[in-house]
Structure 1
Amino acid sequence: MPQSIQTTKFLILCVVWGLTWIAVKSGIETVPPMMFAATRFACAGALLLLWTLRGRRMALIKSKDLFRLLVSSLLMITLCYGPLFWGMQFVSSGTAAVLEMSLTPLALLAFGIALREESWSTARALAMGLGALGLSVLFFPAVSLDELSQSHALVGLAAVAWAAVSSAWGSVLMRPLLRRYDSTFLSGSTTLIGGLILGMAALVFEPTAAQSLTVLWDGKAIAAWLFLVIFGSLIGYSLYMQLIRDIGPARAGSFAFVSPAIAVSVGVLFGGEAISFQSIIGMAMMLLAAYICLNGDKAVLTPLTRRGGRNAIRDCYTSE
Structure 2
Amino acid sequence: MSRNAVLFALMCLVWGLTWLPIKVGAQHVPPVFLAASRFVIAGTLMLAWAGRDVLKVPAAAWPRVVMTALLLNTGNYTLLFWGTAQAPTGLAAIVNFATIPIFTIIASYLIEGHAIGGRKLAAIGLGAVGLGFLFSTRALGGLAAAKGGPLELWGLAAVAAGTLLYCFGAVWSRPVMGRIPTLTLAGWQTLIGGFGLCLMSALLEDVKPAHFAALVSWPVLPAVAVLVIGGSLIGFTIYLRLVRDWGAFRAGLYAFISPAVAVGAGVFALGEPFGPAEAIGSLLMFGAAAIALKR
Q: Shared fold (TM-score greater than 0.5)?
A: yes
Give the Cα–Cα distance (whole angstroms) in 2 for the partners of residues 262 and 144 of structure 1. Answer: 27
Select between 126-135 and 193-202 the one with higher mean Cα deviation. Answer: 126-135
How far off its partner does 1:33 sit? 0.8
SS in 2 for 1:58: helix
Question: How far apart are 1:79 and its partner, in Å?
Answer: 1.4
Q: CA deviation at 1:200?
A: 2.8
- Which residue is 1:174 aligned to? 173
Residues 134 and 15 from structure 1, CA distance in 2 versus in 1: closer, same or farther, beyond 3 angstroms? farther
**Deviation by residue 1:294-313 (Cα, 9 ceiling, x = unmatched):** 333xxxxxxxxxxxxxxxxx
Structure ID, larger Rg: 1
Q: Give the TM-score normalised by structure 1.
A: 0.70
Question: 1 CA distance for matches of 2:61 and 2:162?
Answer: 24
Tell me how far apart the structure 2 counterparts of residues 42 and 227 of structure 1 sit (CA, whole Å). 14
Q: Mind listing any 5+ residue stretches in structure 1 that lack a counterpart? A: 297-320
Q: SS at 1:115's partner residue? A: helix
Which residue of 2 is the match for residue 44 of structure 1?
Answer: 42
Which region of structure 1 is more displaced relative to structure 2, 234-243 or 110-119? 234-243
Contact 2:68 2:172 in 1 (8 A): yes
C-alpha offsets along residues 266-286 of structure 1, whole Å, 9 cap, x if unaligned? 445777777655655555555
Q: CA RMSD in A?
A: 4.2
Q: 2-side partners of 1:174 and 1:241: how far apart?
A: 16
Q: In the TM superposition, what is the alpha-carbon distance from 1:98 to its structure 2 partner?
A: 6.7
Shift of 1:41: 0.7
Post-superposition CA distance 1:245-279 (Å, at most 9, x none): 99999998775554322311344577777765565
Superposed CA deviations along residues 157-178 of structure 1, whole A, max 9, x for unmatched, are 7654432221111111112222
**Which of 27, 30, 47 is residue 28 of structure 2 equivalent to?**
30
- Output the CA distance in 1 between the equivalents of 2:80 and 2:271: 28
Contact in 2 for aligned 1:131/1:289 (Cα 8 Å): yes
The structure richer in helix per residue is 2
- The one-letter amino acid paired with 1:176 is P
Measure how far apart 1:197 and its partner are: 2.0
Compute the displacement of 1:29 (Å). 0.8
In the alignment, is the contact (CA less than 8 A) between 1:111 and 1:168 conserved in 2? yes
Tell whether 2:63 aligns with 1:64: no
Relative to 1, partners in 2 of residues 1:111 and 1:210: Cα closer, same or farther, differing over 3 Å? farther
SS of residue matched to 1:219: coil
Q: Where do 5+ consecutive residues of structure 2 fail to align? A: 144-149
Between Structure 1 and Structure 2, how many residues are aligned? Answer: 288
Larger RCO (alpha carbons 8 Å, 6+ apart):
2
Q: Deviation per CA, 1:124-168, whole angstroms, max 9, x where unpaired?
A: 333444455456667875556598xxx999876765443222111
Aligned partner (choices 121, 128, 136) of residue 125 of structure 1: 121
Deviation at 1:193, TM superposition (A): 0.8
Q: Which residue of 1 aligns with 2:219?
A: 220
